[in-house]
Structure 1
Amino acid sequence: MIRGRTTDEGAVEFYDNATDEVVFTIDADGAAGGSTAWDDVTGKPATFPPTIGATASTAAAGNHTHTGLLSGAASAVNDSTATDAAGLVEDFNALLVALRSRGVISGA
């Protein structure tokens, strides 16, 4: 993980938290100090720009709305008015059916 810290001279260093290696410095006057070769940059995507897609292994675009994440119409689930364990089980099972019908959970 890259973190930032201020030096005694007022510069800002960005460093690798695991190795304490400084990867970028901004001098106290705001000028970037030194340069970093592209091959020395870690954690960058294999391709640039990264592949935008809709699968679990690809990034979603910033304007992606995740349509289809929930399916079907939501049925109303009222507050439980159960007075015994059997009534609670019935109300809880109704909630599970509603969640499954929306694709929030799966299972039987």
Structure 2
Amino acid sequence: MLSEDIDVFFGDFSKVAVWSPANGAAIQTGDVILDSADDSMAVGGIEALGRNTSIIYATGNFPGLDNGERITVGGVEYFVRGTPRTLDDGAFTQAWLGRYGTTN
């Protein structure tokens, strides 16, 4: 586990995320890094371009965040796609997101 203060990793590039757990638990907020990158894949022999959106956050900030949960990042509502995964030593977690009304 990192010995440094992990909050410094979010510094200038973070956005505030707000999660209202579906189970009615207390609303949680925290800083996240939002990544929205183009990604290509072959679909039926045709190259398709899509957008993969994810957040990286301090693992302890959103305990219980899981597939299907809604989370607002920088004022935009997303849903979690799949199970969030811890990265490297477990200090950070990555969750893949989709937006309502879009194909990602």
TM-score (norm 1): 0.18
Structure number with higher helix proportion: 1
Larger CA Rg, structure 1 vs 2:
1
